[in-house]
Every structure is written in structure tokens, then in C-alpha cells.
């Protein structure tokens, strides 16, 4: 599936919730079920500092694709992190660079990606794109 | 006597709105309080009819503005019972007030090897300026700790104060623990050893009648926006005996007596410390806020605020896994807490969905977070326009949210 198709899938998953509480309960569930990041990657240099919730992001580049692992100490953020990984992890740099996480807007959680929210999510998206940019440059030099 | 809170709430139209479809419950008063129409209208009226720069011209509007600005200073003087209006310096808030003292007092009185005392419960605004000063002057910062209840360990103070101590800075009320510190006792102890005391009154002025002469404090710093006034304005009270000997904090217009390239002489108090065009619009709103407070029955409202705190504390304690940080015997309307297994950010996000505004995070008080070994907290803080019904709704919201985790 393409990034866009997965985004559409996520939007559909969320379309069933009428009450905001159900939506958040689902995010919390996703966050709870998410595999934790390997302890050895939960380190200062992988930490993306949001003011209030912390996000750790680790990546590896293999076979032209970037594999991301991430985690947050806040569950709602963690749920959103899981969704971001679902669309971006295992993709080529080009795919990552050419798509925006529009699903967050469409499921009505745009406020979590606003620059004034100090939750680390926006910084995480930026960081993923920076990695993609760096790897794209490296690949094109070869 | 129970105060007529619904009448008071009519003065604060902002409270009457829905957030995320729910009636707004504003429990973030320690961060900033809301403004009554009396303040908003005074500022509007001034901007509509009077505005001109102060102290600088002979024309009608300039004179009216200068008068209004100086009347505001007099209102602040009265509010804190300073001996003279020249001891009231307008700043942009508590933070600038403390920075002013840390800089100017430091320049005049602090040398290498001297000591400054702050406490473990201070807001960063009452830590960082002193650290900067210590770095500049080669002085040493010493810290008075608090116990797990959130009370300062005053008994350690006598040993902490030495003949090298130059100044002691302490919060009137902690913005995190809510503790009302025994500042009178601290001032007496410090003065016995000739150490002046700065009180960070950012959270004190909203709750108490301040009398700087009765307290005997050397400096008292507070912000307009936490006492129902506008942002960007605050005050520093300082005893003339110190202010006279302190060099200016900033240079510019208005703070000078005469300027030649060879030598500049400084204006008298308070202007020496008010370089540039001051926030006179803010000062006028600040004074309007003080007048609003003075028009209320303060004793009744203080008792009411205390009841809000008591009821909220009792309610929250019924919630399993909820821990309150700071249970001092003397507390103001601030409750910091965590619920086991729930990140404060998640709690804040979900409460917001229910129209409830609380603060989450580190409260600009990292040492307090470290004391309890937590990364973040949730803070509910009350003002006299809050109600018992709001506390009940808050309690029910927490119970409901707990089931989501
Ligand atoms: C105890 C305390 N000191 C200082 C400050 C800083 O006040 P301001 O940001 O208005 O300068 C605050 C405000 O949060 C506070 O609560």
C-alpha cells in the first residue's frame, strides 16, 4: 500500500467514532499496544524535546528504506506516534519527502500537530523528513 | 458570609463561553487570571481618548497620560502600603522586577565569594537571575530546601545565613506547591543578620493584602496579569535605602538627569529604573485591576477561595492513585498532582476536550519536579470567580478519564 492508501485506511478507522472520547480511547489503545522502542535507543541523542511529552526516534537505513522506531512517554502522543510510524516507516526517502501526514487533520486531531503544542509530534515529523532528506542525498551520490 | 459569585462572574465575560462544546472551567489562574470588564473598559477608554507619551511634553494629552500613569503608581503604592510612590517601579512583570534587583543590587553590593540564598521551591524567575548575577559577580548560590509536605525547612536558615550572605530571595506563595511561606519569620531571621530579603509575590499578591512596611521586606515583586490586570506590566517595590544605592538596570530615555558624552547623571527614583517609554497603558489597567480588587469584600473572598481549595483537595484525595504535591498547613489555591499511570500531558489534553483548562508540565520549577522525582505535573489553580460546581465537574471529569487508561 502507498502512504496515501494507509492514510485513507486510518481515516476510515477513525470515521466510526462519534464521540471524541472514543477517538482518544482508541488512540490510547494504539499507544498501549505499540511495541516499545528498544531500550538501547531510548537515549538522549534520540530524544526529541517537546516541552511536555518526550518522543524518542531511532532510524535505520536498509535497502533504500528508512525503518523508524519511536516512543513517547505520553499515551495519546504515543498513539499518534504509532500512526506516524505506520505511514512512514519502511518507506523510501522519496516517499517520505513527498507526503504530508494529512490524516491527522482529517481525523480531527490537527491541534496535536500545531507548532504551539509542545508535544514533540511536529518536531518528530520534521526529524523524519530530515533523515529522509539526508538519506536521499547519500543515495543520489552513490 | 457567602459571596455572590454569580455577580462576580458577570464581571468576567470570558468565563461565559463554551470550549469544545462544554462550558469553560478555567483552573489556570496561577498562570494568568482573567480580567474584569472594569479593567478592559478602562484600558479601552484610555486608548480611545487619552493616549500620549508621558513626562515629555506640555500638551493636553501628554499631561493627562502622565497624570494617569502617576495615579496608577499611587494606586499600587496604596495596594502594598509602600512608604512613598517613588519606591514603586513599574516593570513588565515579576520576572523583570527580579532581574532588575539581581542586576542592580548585584552591581552595588555583591562581590566574589559572597553568598545569595534562594529556596528549592522557587519559580525559575527567582532562580535564574540570581545564578546569572552569581556568575557575573563570582558569588555562590545557596538553597534552602523544603520537606515532602512542601514546607520550607526554616530551621536550617540560621546556619545557611552567614556573614557572606548578601540577599535572600523567596516566594510568598509557591506556584507549584501552593505553600504560603512564613515570610515574616524569614525576613526577621534575615534582618537579624542584616540580610535584605526579596519576596517573589507573583502568587502572593493575587491572594493577600500586602503590607510591605508591616512585612519589612526589602523588595517585593509581582505581576499585573496574575491579579486580574493586563499582561506586560508589573511592579517592583524596593526600600529607598537600597534603590538609592543601586545603579540603573537599563539605560535610555527618561532615566537620566543629564547626558553629555563625558558623563551622564541619573534621574531620581523611580525614574532611574524606568528607561524608555514605560507600559503606561498597562499601568493604567494594572491600577484598574487593583481598584477592582479593592472594591470587593476581600475577607469574604479570601475565605471563599480557601474553601474552594479545601473542597477541591478533599475531592481529589478520593481519587485512587492521585497524589497531591504540596500539603503544607498553610496553602493558597494551587493544587499540583499526578494520577498514577497517566501522563499529565494526556490528562491535560483530555480535560481540555471537556472544557477544563489546567496547566500541565514542569511549572517553571524544575527543582520541585526533581524533589519529587517526576517529569511533569498537572496543576489546578483557583480564583474567586471559580465555583464549587466547577470543582465537582472537575472531579467527575477525572473519574471518567481514569477509566480510559
Ligand atoms: C512564583 C512565580 N514567580 C515568578 C513568576 C513569573 O511571573 P511573570 O511571568 O509574570 O514575570 C511566576 C509566574 O508564573 C510565578 O508563579
Which among A21, A25, A74 is the nearest to B345, CB-wise? A74
Domain extents for chain A?
3-141
* Atom of ligand 1 lying closest to residue B171 CA: 1
pLDDT, position A118? 62
pLDDT, position B63? 93
Walk me through the domains of chain B, giving residue ranges and CATH numbers: 5-27+298-402 (3.90.1150.10), 41-294 (3.40.640.10)
Under the banding of pLDDT at 50, 70 and 90, the label for residue A116 is: low
pLDDT, position A117? 66
- B93 Cβ closer than 6 Å to some ligand 1 atom: yes
Spatial distance between the Cα atoms of B312 and B388, rounded to a whole number of angstroms: 8
Rounded distance from Cα B246 to ligand 1 centre (Å): 23
Cβ-proximal residues to B367 (8 Å cutoff; 6+ apart), any chain: B120, B121, B122, B127, B143
pLDDT, position B253? 87
- Which candidate, B324, B312, B322, places its Cα nearest to that of B389? B312
Which among B344, B353, B375 is the nearest to A20, CB-wise? B353
pLDDT, position A120? 76
- Give the model confidence (pLDDT) of B350-387 as tens digits: 999 999 999 999 999 999 999 999 999 999 999 999 99
> Apex CA B228: angle with CA B225 and CA B234, to 5°?
35
pLDDT, position B87? 98
Question: Whose C-alpha lies nearest to ligand 1, atom 7?
Answer: B94
* Atom of ligand 1 lying closest to residue B125 CA: 4
Please, are residues B283 and B69 in contact by the beta-carbon 8 Å criterion? yes
pTM: 0.94
pLDDT, position B191? 98
- Give the model confidence (pLDDT) of B15-58 as tens digits: 999 999 999 999 999 999 999 999 999 999 999 999 999 987 88
Helix A75-88 vs helix A121-141: crossing angle, to nearest 10: 20
- Give the model confidence (pLDDT) of B291-347 as tens digits: 999 999 999 999 999 999 999 999 999 999 999 999 999 999 999 999 999 999 999
Rounded distance from Cα B345 to ligand 1 centre (Å): 21
Under the banding of pLDDT at 50, 70 and 90, the label for residue A109 is: confident
Q: Is residue B257 classed as helix, strand or coil in its secondary structure? A: strand
Assign a CATH topology to domain A3-141.
Answer: Sufe protein. Chain: A (3.90.1010)
Sort out which chain A residues have CB atoms less than 8 A from B20's CB and list them.
Answer: 20
Higher pLDDT, B405 or B285: B285
Q: Is residue A141 classed as helix, strand or coil in its secondary structure? A: helix
- Give the model confidence (pLDDT) of B49-87 as tens digits: 999 999 878 899 999 999 999 999 999 999 999 999 999
| Mean pLDDT estimate for chain B | 96
Determine what percent of chain B is predicted with pLDDT higher than 70. Answer: 100
- Give the model confidence (pLDDT) of B111-153 as tens digits: 999 999 999 999 999 999 999 999 999 999 999 999 999 999 9
Cβ-proximal residues to B206 (8 Å cutoff; 6+ apart), any chain: B29, B33, B226, B227, B228, B383
| Mean pLDDT estimate for chain A | 90
Please name the residue of chain B whose CA is at the shortest distance from the CA of residue A111.
B349
Under the banding of pLDDT at 50, 70 and 90, the label for residue B181 is: very high
Whether B256 has a pLDDT exceeding 90, the answer reads no
pLDDT, position B304? 97
- B181 Cβ closer than 6 Å to some ligand 1 atom: no
Grid cell for residue A72 = 513517547
Question: Whose C-alpha lies nearest to ligand 1, atom 9?
Answer: B95
Whether B392 has a pLDDT exceeding 70, the answer reads yes
- Give the model confidence (pLDDT) of B186-241 as tens digits: 999 999 999 999 999 999 999 999 999 999 999 999 999 999 999 999 999 999 99
DSSP B229: S
Rounded to the nearest angstrom, the minimum Cα separation between A87 and chain B is 23
A51 touches chain B (CB under 8 A): yes
- Give the model confidence (pLDDT) of A50-87 as tens digits: 667 889 999 999 999 999 999 999 999 999 999 999 99
- B28 Cβ closer than 6 Å to some ligand 1 atom: no
Run of H or E residues at B274? none
pLDDT, position A142? 63
Rounded to the nearest angstrom, the minimum Cα separation between A130 and chain B is 26
Please, are residues B36 and B12 in contact by the beta-carbon 8 Å criterion? yes
- B29 Cβ closer than 6 Å to some ligand 1 atom: no
Spatial distance between the Cα atoms of B404 and B399, rounded to a whole number of angstroms: 9
Whether B395 has a pLDDT exceeding 80, the answer reads yes
pLDDT, position A50? 65
Please, which residues 6-25 of chain A have a Cβ atom closer than 8 Å to chain B? 20-21, 24-25
Q: Do A76 and B346 touch (CB under 8 A)?
A: yes
Q: Is B364 a catalytic residue?
A: yes
Longest dimension (CA), chain B: 72
Amino acid at each position: 500500500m502507498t502512504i496515501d492508501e494507509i492514510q485513507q485506511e486510518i481515516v476510515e478507522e477513525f470515521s466510526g467514532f462519534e464521540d471524541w472520547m472514543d477517538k482518544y480511547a482508541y488512540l490510547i489503545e494504539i499507544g498501549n499496544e505499540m511495541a516499545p522502542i528498544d531500550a538501547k535507543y531510548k537515549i538522549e541523542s534520540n530524544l526529541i524535546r517537546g516541552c511536555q511529552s518526550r518522543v524518542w526516534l531511532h532510524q535505520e537505513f536498509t535497502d533504500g528504506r528508512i525503518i523508524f522506531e519511536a516512543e513517547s512517554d505520553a499515551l495519546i502522543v504515543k498513539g499518534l506516534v504509532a500512526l506516524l510510524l505506520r505511514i512512514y516507516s519502511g518507506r523510501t526517502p522519496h516517499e517520505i519527502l513527498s507526503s504530508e501526514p494529512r490524516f491527522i487533520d482529517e481525523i480531527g486531531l490537527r491541534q496535536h500537530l500545531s507548532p504551539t503544542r509542545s508535544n514533540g509530534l511536529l518536531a518528530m515529523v520534521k526529524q523524519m523528513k530530515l533523515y529522509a532528506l539526508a538519506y536521499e542525498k547519500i543515495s543520489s551520490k552513490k | 458570609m457567602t459571596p455572590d459569585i454569580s455577580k462576580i462572574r458577570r464581571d468576567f465575560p470570558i468565563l461565559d463561553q463554551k470550549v469544545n462544546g462544554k462550558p469553560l472551567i478555567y483552573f489556570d489562574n496561577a498562570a494568568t487570571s482573567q480580567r474584569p470588564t472594569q479593567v478592559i473598559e478602562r484600558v479601552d477608554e484610555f486608548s480611545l481618548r487619552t493616549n500620549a507619551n508621558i513626562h515629555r511634553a506640555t500638551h493636553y494629552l501628554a499631561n493627562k497620560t502622565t497624570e494617569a500613569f502617576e495615579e496608577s503608581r499611587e494606586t499600587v503604592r496604596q495596594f502594598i502600603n509602600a512608604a512613598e510612590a517613588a519606591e514603586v517601579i513599574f516593570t513588565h512583570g515579576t520576572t523583570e522586577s527580579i532581574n532588575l534587583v539581581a542586576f542592580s543590587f548585584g552591581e552595588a553590593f555583591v562581590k566574589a565569594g559572597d553568598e545569595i540564598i534562594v529556596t528549592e521551591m522557587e519559580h525559575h524567575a527567582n532562580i535564574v537571575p540570581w545564578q546569572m548575577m552569581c556568575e557575573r559577580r563570582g558569588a555562590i548560590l545557596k538553597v534552602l530546601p523544603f520537606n515532602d509536605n512542601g514546607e520550607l525547612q526554616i530551621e536550617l536558615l540560621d546556619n545557611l545565613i552567614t556573614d557572606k550572605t548578601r540577599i535572600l530571595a523567596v516566594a510568598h506563595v509557591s506556584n507549584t506547591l501552593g505553600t504560603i511561606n512564613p515570610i515574616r519569620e524569614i525576613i526577621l531571621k534575615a534582618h537579624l543578620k542584616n540580610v535584605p530579603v526579596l519576596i517573589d509575590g507573583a502568587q502572593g499578591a493575587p491572594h493577600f493584602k500586602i503590607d510591605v512596611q508591616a512585612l519589612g521586606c526589602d523588595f517585593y515583586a509581582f505581576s499585573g496579569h496574575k491579579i486580574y490586570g493586563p499582561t506586560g506590566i508589573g511592579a517592583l517595590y524596593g526600600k529607598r535605602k537600597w534603590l538609592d544605592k543601586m545603579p540603573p538596570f537599563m539605560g535610555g530615555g527618561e532615566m537620566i538627569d543629564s547626558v553629555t558624552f563625558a558623563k551622564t547623571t541619573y534621574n531620581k527614583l523611580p525614574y532611574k529604573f524606568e528607561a524608555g517609554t514605560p507600559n503606561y497603558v498597562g499601568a493604567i489597567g494594572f491600577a484598574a485591576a487593583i481598584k477592582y480588587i479593592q472594591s470587593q469584600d476581600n475577607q469574604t473572598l479570601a475565605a471563599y477561595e480557601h474553601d474552594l481549595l479545601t473542597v477541591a483537595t478533599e475531592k481529589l484525595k478520593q481519587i485512587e492513585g492521585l497524589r497531591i504535591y504540596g500539603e503544607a498547613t498553610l496553602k493558597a489555591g494551587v493544587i499540583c498532582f499526578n494520577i498514577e499511570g497517566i501522563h499529565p500531558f494526556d490528562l491535560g489534553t483530555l480535560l481540555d476536550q471537556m472544557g477544563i483548562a489546567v496547566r500541565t508540565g514542569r511549572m517553571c520549577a524544575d527543582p520541585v519536579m526533581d524533589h519529587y522525582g517526576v517529569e511533569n505535573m498537572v496543576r489546578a489553580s483557583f480564583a474567586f470567580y471559580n465555583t464549587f460546581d466547577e470543582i465537582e465537574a472537575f472531579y467527575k471529569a477525572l473519574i471518567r478519564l481514569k477509566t480510559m487508561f
